[in-house]
Structure 1
């Protein structure tokens, strides 16, 4: 009877942990939010409890199978836009929530609560550090289309350097009447803003994306 009561406590703790982590993801409008994190935490906890009750010869296989089963959830929240991959933090949060749920199911309540605190610090507090870094070191993809006049778009690379940009990659493609350039530039947010203001006023540019 005591074991059943303890298991119920573990499930409630797993629910609370999943709710706390999921609320943070929901607040930031991520694809895996409150209910998803609750279900991940609860299911991992319950699988662990059942496996311990049934008896597993090799506990390592239990953890491996749970994390393998969660792989499709992680893949579902990762997507690629034009110049960056999004959703990796949410995918890894799903994995971490599962690990915490397993710790709760195995009875390691203090460990799981401490791990939850670390997750919240990473998700809530370190985002300001990340934003600070991105403000000073931001990568963007620029695409410029101009009329073709027997010249390349190399002049823009000199312009990028004047605005303090580092050119990571560039390609140029010519059609019959137009020439298109694509660059990946790294610089501060302010430098990107000043550069785009200049490019938007450039009368020789037919199309501009950034």
Structure 2
């Protein structure tokens, strides 16, 4: 196997683009080589098989979704009230939507995981790690809510992102803010 880390990342990023555009069945070494604009046979020099490429693509998606300024994003100095939580959730929706090919590729990988137990195991671990990181960041940020708040927002906002990417005219920008505010209100009931 080849060792050039930059080339490997370029090939994995190309695989993400192919997954989003063509689906899991369209993910071939040749398609990845074409997307990455490298000579035919390059991807097969970097990945032992298609499953290896699928698995590495799943991990890379999460690497690319981590915000550049994670510490600043969760810093309690930026606010700890409900409105701050709404702002954070709107940021998540925007950030994930702006890497739409990554999200769509992840959906393809999740569907493929139904048929591939090894991929399912890897994605389960990786998504659990991401979820645990989200809970830890949420608790560290000082915004209201607990682990269940994060779980409820995770589940509802993932579907909102999917709708935004696959049916872009279903909800307008004002609708998205209203939906996120309602999700926060329902996941985090107001003190009475």
TM-score by length of 2: 0.32
Q: Which has the higher helix share?
A: 2
Q: Which has the higher strand share?
A: 1
Higher Rg of the two aligned structures: 1
Structure scoring higher RCO (CA < 8 A, sep ≥ 6) equals 2
